[in-house]
Chain A
Amino acid sequence: AQSVTQLDSHVSVSEGTPVLLRCNYSSSYSPSLFWYVQHPNKGLQLLLKYTSAATLVKGINGFEAEFKKSETSFHLTKPSAHMSDAAEYFCVVSDPLTGGFKTIFGAGTRLFVKA
């Protein structure tokens, strides 16, 4: 069975400092992994997607994530936080046995950015 664990429910950084949001996954198969962002009272937006083409995935707004099979991790990073990055971030794994029709969300990490 697929599962995803976001290791921090809240992360607080200062503007201009690096961001690290941690995600571990469990999958019996080669997974597709995603990061989505949800700004307050908004829908979710896809940040980036891993599908085995390259282990380092670049997304929108300067975010990137590295797939590490040995550690079963897919952590999200950004070199320098901006106030507009404050939002909820979700790590997501797709169940390949369902042909991609079922995705499993992590519990989310709330990112706070201090001025």
Chain B
Amino acid sequence: DTAVSQTPKYLVTQMGNDKSIKCEQNLGHDTMYWYKQDSKKFLKIMFSYNNKELIINETVPNRFSPKSPDKAHLNLHINSLELGDSAVYFCASSPPDRGRDEQYFGPGTRLTVT
């Protein structure tokens, strides 16, 4: 009965590789997000999607490309990985009826680029 799930939980890869992180929510929400949490625990929003459409792109490099095949999924593809991409990436979703800013977070994906 997981509400917001992410796969994989851990991802270790080398610089220059391309990788994807998947996110799924079974809450019936229509808005989904990606956040990046750095080593100092600072959380920054990357993208917001509503009904599969991009709403917010917080000056994220073009190497990051989110894709939302349907309202329940928001995947994150990262090209040409760099050392600075190492972080924990969180997916979140929110319902329209209680305010889009009330968010439900996934468990996170720890990405390590070597």
B-binding residues in A (CB < 8 A) = 32, 34, 36, 38, 41-46, 49, 51, 88, 90, 92, 94, 98-105, 107-108, 110
Given contacts A46-B102, A49-B102, contact A101 B90 (CB under 8 A): no
Q: Does the CB pair B99–A100 fall under 8 Å?
A: yes
What chain B residues lie within 8 Å of A101 (beta carbons)? 31, 48, 50, 55-56, 100-101
Interface hub of A34, A45, A100 (most chain B Cβ within 10 A): A100
Give the distance to chain B from A5, nearest Cβ to Cβ, in Å.
Answer: 13
Cβ contact within 8 Å between B100 and A43: no
Report if A46-B103 is in contact (Cβ < 8 Å); known contacts: A101-B50, A102-B48.
Answer: yes
Contact residue among A34, A38, A104, A110 (Cβ-Cβ distance under 8 Å from B102): A34
A-B contact count (CB 8 A): 67
The answer to whether A103 and B42 have CB atoms under 8 Å apart is no
- Sorting the interface of chain B by its residue count into under 10, 10 to 19, 20 to 34 or 35 or more gives 20 to 34
Are B106 and A43 in contact (CB-based, < 8 A)? yes
Tell me the bound Cα distance from A104 to B4 in angstroms: 20
- How far apart are the CA atoms of A105 and B35 in the complex, in Å? 10
Do the beta carbons of B90 and A32 come within 8 Å of each other? no
Provided the pairs A98-B55, A105-B44, A108-B41 are in contact, do residues A45 and B99 lie with their beta carbons within 8 angstroms?
A: no
